[in-house]
Amino acid sequence: MPHILIVTPRRNLSFASREVRTLQNLGIQTTLATMQGTGSSAFETPIGALDPTSSSARAYLRQFDAVFVLERSAHLGDGTATVDTSLHWLGWNDPEDPPVCYFGTLFSTARSSATAFLPSDFPLVRPNASDLANTASMLDAGATWNFPIRVGTRVRLTREQASVYIASVNWRTSASESGFWKLNTANHTALGTNGEILAIPDLPDTSYPSDAILAYRYRKHYLLPMVYLFSSNILVERVPTVGSFSYGVFWLLYALKLCNLRPAWRVPLHFETDHPLQLASPRVDDMNFAQMLTIQRDTLDWLVGFCQQTGLSVFHGIQIGGRDRTRTSSPENYDHWVLLNRPDLTGTIGQQIAQQAHAILLANHTKTQPCGPHDHTIAGGALNFSSSPFTLIRHAGGRYGAGNNVPVGHGIAVNRRHAPSTFTGLEYTLGDTDWIETATPMSGTGTSIPNVRDGSYHIARIVVEGHIDEMRALGFPDGHGGAHRYTNTARNSSGSLGYWQAYRDAGYRGMRSWHYANEARATALVPPDREWQGFHLLDNFQLDAHGTSPQGGYGLYHPTAPSDAHAVGRWGLDIGGDITSNYPVTAWRAYRRLIARQNTEWLGIAVHSLGAGYLHPVTCFGASPANPTARFREGIPNLSGLPAYNHIVELLNEMREIVQVLSDYLYF
């Protein structure tokens, strides 16, 4: 098993947990050390403090297969010493010395302490914040710093001769600008085989000079982009709205490849959709229901081929509840059942297309597109723990459906192990505890059950049975994603122990769950390792190109649509009009900013948290109904006459390029 030493500034030690966890997820052993300032005690290791320029430090490094040096801000004006002493290691290149990977290490002119440690043949120009034109290459000619939204980059990897979209920069300024290094061409030429250009900016909308550099090999040392990116010196954390999993996993994995270090196992990239069939409210492009459903049907069909080629399984959360609790208040709320069975709402043509799309799901449920219940018809979402009582409309038949008088709330419960012999009542198990309960509220035999709370195990059993029953009524052979025995719950919540138990009782092995730390819900019970009694609670990140607009998505940009209905407005991709004032000429700029961001987020949630990337196919309504799966580069117009854009097709195709580059570490 490879063993890597991670060196980080002392004040940022806690942040290194991300790299440690990521590498552990690959079965790679890590050791942490910190560095601050210079001198005999600057390098703190598990064996004690060392002078980072000493022979003792060199001998210590030789115990490892590689050394990863992590900078945290790469601020060109930062003159304080953190890990710059490690630049002394650039001179250690004997066969016994391990490769050293520097992530965003700052060697700007402001860091005068680094001068003594840089070799005379150092191949990169030292950036000068006062002379950027001659000492650095700026991203987007001064684009405002806002990772990962506005540092979207296409990168050309020279060894692989492949281009990938990934958020990548080498430095930033106090004016919130960011950019790339410049190559000292004379030193590079003189180095011969000891110098190698590893990556360059390859932006489809901008030309960069040949000396613009993103990654470089200097002898046994690799100078790479930043892994962590900051906004105003504060780590941008993920939040439930326009969050950011601001962690550049790609470069960490690529460093392993450069060092020829193989993991014990690979990490899977998991992908899901919520509502594979859904409508939208009236739109400014006048897209009708049949066109909306055509885009979704053809995208599902395209996914079949993509999955066969790559090994990906796309999990679909079927928006159920429509059979028993039909919602017809607005088209975007029509449930799956309604789309298949209510031509009075969807139109006959729309119903036929929905049924064709449904047939694709049925045919591939046990293959590459497993499906499971995703219910928005219950108060607060199907599996949110709510403190407010509501009325549940339950299904008919089965063990817990209408016609049966079943428990609907908890009475007096006693641990069976401690209950007296005279204590009798309803017996059940939650986790590893057996309970006996008396005075249990009952449902009666009717369909409507008032004043229930969805934190109850008894209500959970009713809901889960109804979910599975409706999935089977829709034609699926099961209600739990086939062999995966999983589902992605509505509103990303996991309910409480009662729901976990009810789903486990029904044969599930896991469900999607997002811990809402800022809300008073039982999701706070989600364990840190996301496993409860062998039941898995999968983390996730939303990858939609648009926001919550009921009109669905318009693709990359639309000048008269709601601002959160297109990618530029939703994700703040525009910088002083550099997209909106000249669209669609600037469409490629929007494209690479969006895709680089989404790839960065997807890799972060997958490799760091072993979670899923997911989106709503209504985000693809910027595609052309006449050719829904056409690539963006084909230049086909959509209904608005703007460049057609199918987010699923683009995102998965571009992630495929990354998986091919990192095939020893990732797989679909």
- How many other CB atoms sit within 10 Å of the CB of residue 496? 23
| Residue 518, pLDDT score | 40
CA pair distance 164, 133, nearest whole angstrom: 26
Q: Of residues 419 and 259, which shows the higher confidence score? A: 259
Asked whether the beta carbons of 211 and 190 are under 8 A apart, the reply is: no
How would you label 213-245 residue by residue, b for 16+ Cβ within 10 Å and e otherwise?
bbbbbbbbbbbbbbbbbbeeeebbebeeeeebb
- Written as one string, the DSSP assignment of 462-503 is HHHHHHHHHHHHTT-S-SSTGGG-EE--GGG----HHHHHHH
Residue 307 reports pLDDT greater than 90? yes
Concatenated DSSP letters for 632-650? GGG--B-TTSSBP--HHHH
Q: What's the pLDDT score for residue 351?
A: 98
The answer to whether the beta carbons of residues 410 and 440 sit under 8 Å apart is: yes
Q: How far is residue 318's CA from residue 369's CA, in Å, rounded to a whole number? A: 11
Give 16's pLDDT tier (boundaries 50, 70, 90): confident
Question: What is the structure's pLDDT at 476?
Answer: 97
Average pLDDT in the chain: 90
Query: For residues 170 and 183, what is the distance between their CA atoms, to the nearest angstrom?
Result: 13
- Exposure class string for 585-616: b at 16+ Cβ within 10 A, else e: ebbbbbbbbbbbbbbbbbbbbbbbbbbbbbbb
Across 165-179, 227-241, 571-585, least confident range: 227-241
What's the whole-number mean pLDDT along residues 213-242?
A: 66
pLDDT 10s digits, 440-467? 999 999 999 998 877 789 999 999 999 9
- Tell me how far apart the alpha carbons of residues 339 and 323 are, in angstroms, rounded to a whole number: 11
Confidence of residue 143 (pLDDT cuts 50, 70, 90): low
pLDDT tens digits, 466-496: 999 999 999 999 999 999 999 998 876 666 7
What pLDDT is stored for residue 40 in this prediction? 76
Residue 665 · residue 26 · CB < 8 Å: yes
Confidence tier at 230 by pLDDT (50, 70, 90): very low
**How many C-beta neighbours within 10 Å does residue 399 have?**
9
* Structure-token match 């109804």, residue found: 466
The predicted pLDDT at position 514 comes to 64
Number of residues written out for the chain? 668
Token duo for residue 443: 């449902």
At residue 325, the pLDDT reads: 93
Cα distances (Å, whole numbers) of residue 110 to 77, 145, 170: 6, 20, 15
CB-based contacts of 232, cutoff 8 Å, min separation 6:
none
Whether 89 shows a pLDDT value over 80: the answer reads: yes
Give 498 or 44, the one with higher predicted confidence.
44
Where residue 142 falls among pLDDT bands split at 50, 70, 90?
Answer: low
**514 compared with 444, residue with greater pLDDT:** 444
Q: Pick 39 or 390 by higher pLDDT.
A: 390
pLDDT digits (tens, 9 = 90+) for 587-620: 999 999 999 999 999 998 899 889 999 999 999 9
In this predicted structure, the answer to whether residue 305 has a pLDDT above a threshold of 80 is yes
> 316-351, pLDDT tens digit by residue?
999 999 999 988 889 999 999 999 999 999 999 999
Is the per-residue pLDDT at 517 higher than 60?
no
pLDDT, position 57: 96
What pLDDT, on a 0 to 100 scale, did the predictor assign at position 472? 97
Residue 380, φ and ψ in degrees, nearest 5: 75, 10
CB atoms within 10 A of CB 477: 10
With beta carbons less than 8 A apart as the criterion, state whether 122 and 86 touch.
no
The first and second tokens of residue 394, run together, are 């339950």
568, two tokens: 């530029």
Nearest to 338 by CA among 354, 353, 349: 354
Cα–Cα distance for residue pair 298/630, rounded to 1 Å: 10
Predicted confidence at residue 238, as pLDDT, reads 34
* Residue 520 pLDDT exceeds 60: no
Q: What is the number of other CB atoms lying within 10 angstroms of the CB of residue 344? A: 10
Instruction: Decide which of 236 and 84 is more confident.
Output: 84
Contact 511, 498 (CB under 8 A): no
Q: How high is the pLDDT of residue 497?
A: 81
167, 168, 173, 175 alpha-carbon torsion, rounded to 10°: -30
- What are the tokens at 389? 């009582």
- State residue 234's pLDDT score: 28
| Dihedral Cα 15, 249, 595, 515, nearest 10 deg | -50
3-state SS, residue 390: strand
Q: What percent of the chain stands above pLDDT 90? A: 72
Beta strands of 71-110 (E only): which ranges? 100-103
Of the candidate ranges 116-120, 168-172, 420-424, 524-528, the one whose mean pLDDT is the lowest: 524-528
Q: What is the mean pLDDT of residues 111-115?
A: 91
**Preceding omega of 617 cis (within 30 degrees of 0):** no
Give ∠ CA 540-104-245 in degrees, rounded to 5. 10
